[in-house]
Amino acid sequence: MSNIIEIKNVTKEFKVLNRREGLKGSLKDLFSRDYKTVRAVDNISMTIVQGEIVGYLGPNGAGKSTTIKMMTGVLEPTSGQITVNGNLPYKDRTRNAQEIGVVFGQRSQLWWALPLIESFKLLKDIYQIPDEEYSSMIKLYKSLVDIEPLLHKPVRQMSLGQRTLSDILAAFLHNPKIVFLDEPTIGLDVSMKSKIRTLIHALNKEKNTTVILTTHDMGDVDALCQRIVIIDKGKMLYDNDIEHLKGFFGSYRTLKIRPDGDIKVHSAALENELDGLSVSVTSDDEWVSILVNEDKTKVMDVLNVIQRSRAIRDMKLEEISTEEVIRKIYEEGVK
């Protein structure tokens, strides 16, 4: 299979003004040349093959959006080279835009006051989609999701989930080679998240579309991504599949307990009680989760400490989750 995206030793730097405080400082800033250079992306390289779904992950401020903007042609690299489907994105912006689809956050490309079908028709004219291809895509959409109730509904009357679903359909409408999805399931309920993940997976398989996905929802990663790339502070930390990554943390297990009483209170208390052991404590509405490094601490030793001061209604032991792996990578890197 051919490489559709090639990134070679790409760096992106920005000049940022060192701002002063107060009104006087603001006036001085108008004439200041006191700039610092911020390196948002630092010498990254990767190739992406046609048809891959790649999770591009990292904490806020890691350089993900800057990389995506360079791939879509919005920004020019300071050094290095990016080619997308044979194009230099920042030089061939029009051609590049014709061959990609984009869904960025909650910025809709649909016309707010028009029914969805009218937005589709406008996009058909913008991208000069032949009648036969357009009809084929609408037929495919109807076979994948129940869009009939949405087609004649104004976008402003749709729920967040319906708008997101419609935006994703719009991004795939002209049959692009690559689709960039930025947090496509943020703010959605469990049912709509599942529907959107199923849709993205089906369109990827049906059209062999390359998908670049940025997300903080590890459910998206587990459901969709064959490969993940992790970036932090502009540097690439990891580029491989998730199972390979979990091998770095094979000695970690998650002990989940459900004690009597308030979960949050128990979670806070356990952080103090287990201080000094190789564990980290988190909680949700149902469970207190203790991530244990069994190379340093035995699960039974942790459990014995917990049982000394509280009754446990339920417990279970799990392998390290994708979310916990990613968090460990952010904190410690790949060793």
Read off the pLDDT of residues 143-194 as tens digits, 9 standing for 90 and up: 998 889 899 999 999 998 899 999 999 999 999 999 999 888 888 888 888 9
Q: What are phi and psi of 272, to 5 degrees?
A: -75, -45
Asked whether residue 89 falls in the same domain as residue 135, the answer is yes
**Per the structure, how many domains does the chain have?**
2
CATH classification at residue 205: 3.40.50.300
Give the CA radius of gyration of the chain.
Answer: 24
In a domain, 107, yes or no: yes
305 lies in the same domain as 159: no
CATH classification of the domain holding 268: 3.30.2130.10
* In a shared domain, residues 306 and 173: no
Where does the pLDDT of residue 265 fall: very low under 50, low under 70, confident under 90, or very high at 90 and above? confident
Per-residue CA distances from 118 to 20, 110, 156, 284 (Å):
50, 9, 13, 43
Same structural domain, 150 and 274: no
- CA angle, 26 then 30 then 31, to 5°: 125
Domain residues for the domain of 300 are: 251-319
CA angle, 280 then 282 then 286, to 5°: 145
CA dist., res. 94 & res. 112, Å (int): 24
Q: Which of 219, 245, 271 is the last residue of a domain?
A: 245
Distance of CA 86 to the CA centre of its chain: 25
Whether 240 is covered by a domain: the verdict is yes
Do 213 and 300 fall into the same domain? no
Lowest mean pLDDT among 183-187, 209-213, 247-251, 271-275: 247-251
Q: In Å, how far from its chain's centre is CA 235?
A: 17
The residue type at 65: S
**Please, which pLDDT band fits residue 17 given cuts at 50, 70 and 90?**
low
- 335 lies in some domain: no
The answer to whether position 325 is within a domain reads no
Query: Quick one: 262 and 240 in the same domain?
Result: no
pTM for the full predicted model: 0.77
Of the candidates 98, 83, 276, 256, the one whose C-alpha atom is nearest the C-alpha of residue 175 is 98
Closest among 148, 138, 160 to 115, alpha carbons compared = 148
Query: 41 and 151 in one domain?
Result: yes
Q: Is residue 330 included in any domain, yes or no?
A: no
